[in-house]
Structure 1
C-alpha cells in the first residue's frame, strides 16, 4: 500500500455499500471483511438499512450501509480495489442503476475534491440520496461536504424523505 509521503498518516474515507441480489446481509458482511483485509481499518459502521431502489425503481429493495475506513491507498488505488471486490463478489454491470450483488461507492476521501473520468470525489449524488445520508449521519453527521460546504446532517435534513 502507498503511504502519504506528505503526512505519513492514513487517509479517511467513507464508503457506501449496497446490495439487492442474493443473500444481501451475507454479502455486506463479506464486503466489510474484504475491505478490512484489502483497503484498511474499518473504524465505524452504520446500521444496515433497507430501502427501495433508486434510479431504476422497479427492482428489489436494497440493504445499505456506510463505513468509515482509514486507508493508506490513494483514490485511484482505492477505486481499483473496490471494483476488484465487487467483481469477486459477483457484481455484473448490465444496466446503469440496475440490480447488483454489491455496490461500493466512495463517498468522501479526506476533505478532498477529486475528479477524473472514472472517479469523482465527493460522490456526485450524496446530497440526493436518503439511503446514503441516513446511515452516513449515524457515523459522521458533522462531516462537511467539501464542495457544498454543508455537513451531512444539514444535507439529510434538506431531503424529502420517503414515508
Structure 2
C-alpha cells in the first residue's frame, strides 16, 4: 500500500454533498481513506469570476499504481458529473493527486507531487492539518 494525498474541490451544485460523494466513490475504487482535513471555503483560483469552492484533502492507502489512481480519480470526477470545460473554471468535483508516497512522476498527463501545491495556501494548510510537510517536494 502507498500513502496518498488527494485534493478535492467543488464549486457547483450541492458542494458538501459533492465532497461526500467523491469520498464514497474513492472508497469504492479502492482508496482506503484514513483521515481527512476539515472542509475549507476558498476563493476561486485562476479564474475569479465563478462561485467559491469547498476544498478538502484526504489521506489514503492505495494498493495500485499511480496511473491506476489517476484513472480512478478521473472516473470519480466523471461519475460526479464533471464535464470537460475551461481550465480552472467551475466544476462539480475535482480530484487531484497531490502526493503519491515519495514518488516523483513527470509525464504528459501526470505530475506528482502536484505542481501547484506551493501556490495554493489551502492545500498547504490542509496537509499541515494532517501532519504533512511537503517541504521542497514540489
Q: Does 1:104 align with 2:100?
A: no
Q: 1:146 Cα deviation (Å)?
A: 2.9
2:58 is paired with a residue of what secondary structure?
Answer: strand
Q: 1:141 Cα deviation (Å)?
A: 3.3
Q: 1:145 Cα deviation (Å)?
A: 4.5
Q: Which runs of 5+ in 2 are unaligned?
A: none
Partner of 1:153: none
* TM-score normalised to structure 1 length: 0.81
Distance in structure 2 (CA, Å) of the matches to 1:141 and 1:119 = 21
* TM-score normalised to structure 2 length: 0.95
Of 65, 68, 73, the residue aligned with 2:59 is 68
Q: Which runs of 5+ in 1 are unaligned?
A: 1-9, 148-163
Of 32, 41, 59, the residue aligned with 1:41 is 32
Distance in structure 2 (CA, Å) of the matches to 1:47 and 1:93 = 28
Q: 1:140 Cα deviation (Å)?
A: 2.7
Q: Which has the higher contact order (CA 8 A, sep 6+)?
A: 2
Question: For residues 72 and 140 of structure 1, do their structure 2 counterparts lie closer, same or farther at Cα, with a shift above 3 Å needed?
Answer: same
User: How many correspondences in the alignment?
Assistant: 138
